[in-house]
Structure 1
Amino acid sequence: MEPATSFWQRPLFWGIRRWELVAFLGMHTFLGFLYWCAILLTSGQNQAIGISINYLFKILFTAPVWWLFFRRLRHWNLRNRILLHLPLCLLYVFTWKTIFYATSEAIGIGHLDASGSWWDVYIPILVYLLQFGVFHAYEYWCEILRQKEKEKSLMRLAHAAEMSTLKAQIQPHFLFNTLNSISASVPAAQEHTRTLIAQLADVFRFAMNVSDKEFITLGQEMEFIRNFLALEQQRFGDRLSVYYHFDETLSDYPVPPMLLQPLVENAVKHGIAKSLEGGSISVRVQKDGGSVQFEVADTGKGINGYQPGQLFTKGIGLENTRQRIQKLYGAPLSVQPNEPVGFRVLFALPLQPHPEWNKK
């Protein structure tokens, strides 16, 4: 069952919520009741029907004026809207009085006449001023609540950003200090463990240092890939073999940082990890005429019946790399089945360095 608060908060029309409509009708019912009591006590007449029609017309004529002020002209400042109330109040009273008197005469219930008819000007003006005073006060109150909620949200975001900044400053130092402490505590006989810890530190340090760079050298990227895959080889043991085919003359060639890492990680995660027998990963970077050819291939699980184009929707690694290459170089990235098993990712970049690199 839907909670009562949710039911009453649900808007009906013009953005008016159920409880607001009930409150508005209740206010007019209360005013009508007071008017009925006053007439009954002063004249002894029971004019329930006439008063009901009286306040029904007040409600009907209030609706379009409310819509004008709080929907159509809500962007106006309060001063201009208050000035507009002066002529509209008179129009409201004139329209209400004309139609109410005509209706009363048509159904034979009577109305105030002669000097008494001024009460049918004075009271509607009071009702108009009272209800729209309440409406404007309520609007102001809602705006204060919205502003306070906005300030709270901004404070929460600012606090979260501040904490993230502090964590970003603390965590790398804590991580490297911890890794150094662990490395120092490892006996000299276990030099291999020390090497793994150093490689892990290099991986984290690289990721942190290149986070604000647009380009790095291909030599730096390949060194990072070697450290990354060395750690993965320790994880998989004999199940993972790695082969590199890298043209060393391309060591100074500029590439976006961590360009190959998502492709290599994807090969490990979806190719090797899902194969009981494991497999191999090869990273090939070679010149080919006026371009640099990149290929990351594995002999793992393969594409599992997916069409190559569907693989871009199965994770963010391939898609992000594809978009980076497309936006920076206008070059495509393709995924193809590998032979005899597995899959490979290929793309080519112009041998001429990216123009942004030359600005550095």
Structure 2
Amino acid sequence: MNRRIFGVKIFEIVALISTYIVLSIGYHVTLWFNRTSDYRLYSDLLNIESWFNNEGLQYVIMFVATSVVWIVIFKIFRHWKLWQRLLLHFLGLPFFIFCSWKVFYLICESIGYWHMNGPGQVWDIYIPTLIYLIQFSLIHAYEYYIINQRKIQNEVELTNAALKSELSAIKAQLNPHFLYNVFNTINASVPKEMEETREMIAELSDLFRYQLKASREDFVTLEEELDFVKKYLKLEQRRFEDRLKINIDVSDDLLTRKIPPMILQPLVENSVKHGISPLVEGGIIDIIIKEKEDTLIFEINDTGVGIANKEHIFELGVGLGNTQKRLQKMYNSTLTFSDNVPTGLKVYFEL
């Protein structure tokens, strides 16, 4: 069952409630054996009202206290490190015991229910403590299991994607030198007077060479990726002439950082194709890369026509969709889209 209530799987809620029902019934049976010497009196044992008036109410309170602690540790502070969240149990355990002991006694006394007295109260401290430690140990173990399963699934998907890329690389390597030789032959046949054309052919050859490298390697330097993007944009500027302007803002000390290959080009291509191209006057593309706390922050902004319905932005082409999947699987990151000022589109992501 994958259906959820407030982000929690239904079967997880049912499992926790069932656990408390079983524990309370077991406690009820234990107390019944110790209260009466006549085991033939099963009416009290099977009396649901008697069960709730005593042990059942206490376990309902413990269930509510558990839910509060769980929300705090596993929802509100879920982004904290594990050791930090474990320290929160030093507050959660006293809160849980207070609810299952003092709050339970207060409610019992106000409505006339029975509760432990005298030295017997120690059981209403010991048993809740034991339940708290066991249940949250199991919950943390279950959380680790879920995270590990997701990690394994992501690794499998990345492996499959790598295999597909490897197959593509194998296909591309059937005779890659043939392609380069063709470019060189064409380049050599172009008259020296057409130097601009010769440069364009050489740049196009470099683009193919980088794409082949990207199919073989998992990471490249930021400098290599930017060189590829610059060559691509330089070819586009030959087509758009003065209609396309490019600004790249990146610190030199970030150029050696490793990033996945071909992570910027689909985003830049989207800005050119869907943002700038429809405008007669053209526009500007800004590529901004910064670092914050060892995290690379990427912004690709354009002054194009923009996109009104950003929910369907991935329908523009497979490039954006593939980039989104790679970011999610490799970095648990995502592409964020917003409106540029005064016009255009902003794309933001982190590595």
Q: Structure 2 length normalisation: TM-score?
A: 0.49
Larger Cα-atom Rg: 1
Q: Structure 1 length normalisation: TM-score?
A: 0.48
